[in-house]
């Protein structure tokens, strides 16, 4: 059963990046994929700018959102079309990124996600991409960019998975961080950047080592994100 997190935590978790506000969750079946219009260099993510930290809570988090305390249970198809439960990665910390091929900030953050997978895989962290998009477009794009972390793909069922995290309004990308016990530690709306992921994963590692209690970890992330938001550009 979910409950609303403290207001201060929900606010802090949305300060770190600009939201892709008003973006559609998935494109029309007749729409042409637009991802080829924006080049992305392998191994590079977009540079952080002051504006990435400047959004208000009202802009970044849809009203009435309820972030769950624990990882919800859902299944989506993998690249091969096989239904896979998110529980397949039980015992690992997860970085769950909701994205779509037509979403520019989603595309820009993929190189960062690839680098996180390489850097953190041997420390019990798994990056999972959840594409809210048409399967053929996702597979073509994933092949083009050589996405090397697991992908789950869906349309309405992926929308339902997003809603299980409290994000029912059209807003992509967003990224969920969980600890090895399946507790939700952070939910980041908008494009993810290295400073935010480094902060959250460093605290998450302490949680997994039982060095920091989960409520203290959430507050530590809150303070860290506020400092990033207030840091001069």
Q: Which residues pair with 93 in a beta bridge?
A: 125
pLDDT at residue 64, as a whole number: 55
Give the model confidence (pLDDT) of 16-52 as tens digits. 333 333 333 333 333 333 333 333 222 333 343 433 4
CA distance 134 to 156: 10
CA distances from 202 to 40, 145, 158, 160, 212 (A): 27, 27, 29, 30, 11
The mean pLDDT value for 75-87 works out to 97
Q: Is the pTM of this model over 0.85?
A: no
Domains and CATH numbers, the chain: 15-24+67-224 (3.40.30.10)
Report which secondary-structure segment, H or E, holds 228: helix 214-230
pLDDT of residue 33: 38
Q: Which of 60-74, 114-128, 174-188 has the lowest mean pLDDT?
A: 60-74
Which of the two residues, 227 and 178, has the higher pLDDT score? 178
* Res 23: pLDDT: 36
């Amino acid at each position: 059963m979910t409950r609303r997190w403290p207001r201060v935590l929900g606010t802090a978790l949305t300060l770190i990046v600009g939201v892709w506000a008003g973006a559609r969750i998935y494109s029309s079946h007749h729409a042409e994929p637009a991802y080829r219009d924006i080049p992305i260099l392998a191994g590079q993510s977009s540079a952080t700018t002051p504006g990435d930290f400047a959004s208000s809570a009202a802009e970044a988090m849809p009203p009435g959102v309820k972030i769950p305390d624990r990882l919800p249970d859902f299944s989506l198809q993998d690249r091969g079309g096989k239904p896979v439960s998110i529980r397949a990665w039980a015992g690992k910390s997860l970085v769950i990124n909701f994205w779509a091929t037509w979403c520019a900030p989603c595309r820009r953050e993929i190189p960062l996600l690839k680098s996180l997978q390489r850097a953190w895989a041997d420390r019990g962290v798994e990056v999972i991409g959840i594409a809210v998009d048409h399967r053929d477009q996702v597979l073509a794009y994933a092949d083009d960019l050589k996405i090397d972390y697991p992908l789950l793909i869906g349309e309405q069922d992926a929308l339902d998975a997003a809603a299980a995290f409290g994000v029912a309004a059209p807003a992509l990308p967003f990224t969920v961080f969980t600890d090895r016990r399946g507790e939700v530690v952070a939910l980041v709306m908008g494009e993810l950047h290295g400073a935010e992921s480094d902060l959250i994963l460093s605290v998450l590692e302490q949680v997994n080592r039982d060095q920091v209690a989960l409520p203290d970890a959430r507050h530590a992330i809150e303070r860290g994100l506020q400092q990033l938001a207030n840091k001069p550009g």
